[in-house]
Every structure is written in C-alpha cells, then in structure tokens.
Amino acid sequence: MSGAVDEPFIAAVKPLVDAMGGQIVPPDEAGPDDVVLSWEGREVVAVRLPQLADSLDHILAALERRKGMPLADLDRRAKQEIVRSLEARGAFAVRHGVETVASALGVSRFTVYNYLNREKGS
C-alpha cells in the first residue's frame, strides 16, 4: 500500500473491515470478489470479504467477547435476544446457520426454531 497519505484512510476503514471479519489487502492483489476502495481518484486498498459462514462464526465470537462469557452460559432471555439479533442480520440464511447458532448457544436446533417462531407470533 502506497504512502503515508493513505494511512488515515486505511485506519478509518479498518474497524469496519475487522467487524465484518474481512481482510485488508493491497489493491494490486485484489481478486474478483474483493472490493477495491479508491480515495481521491486512486485505488488505495482492497477489502477481502469473508464467506458468509465465516462471518457467522466471527459474529458469534464477537457476541461472546461482548457478553464476557460463553453464549451457552447466558440465560434464556439473553439467548432469545441473540437469536432475534442474528435473524435481523440474516444469520439464518447461511447454510447450517441454525445449527451453528444452536451449537454456540448450547441449545438444540428445535429451540432456536422455537425462539424464531415465538418472535414471529408476537
């Protein structure tokens, strides 16, 4: 990546890239699925987006860090809130999303579906 002028731009986008579970790469190493960001008419950096399943794992790990404990140790209400939050973020559109979330929460798939259905019924 080219010079000190680019550093503030890269520093500005890095928290977003990290939160998504992405990776910053030089623009000349960008692949067809990477997003190249330009600043002042020049390609400065490319962002390699994670696969959806990797994003879900990243989101679950971030939630665990935020809660300060394993998600499986949370009470039922907190687990329901997490399921609602994950549904709003599209987590259950990912293949095996329900299974991944159920495993992280220490509950069955059936329980996750119950949490989802309870939300739709209210």
CB 105 within 8 A of CB 71: yes
- Enter the pTM of the model: 0.61
Q: What percentage of the chain carries pLDDT values higher than 70?
A: 90
pLDDT category at 89 given cuts 50, 70, 90 is confident
Mean pLDDT confidence for 106-119: 92
The model's pLDDT over 13-51, given as tens digits with 9 standing for 90+, comes to 999 888 777 899 999 999 988 999 998 899 999 999 877
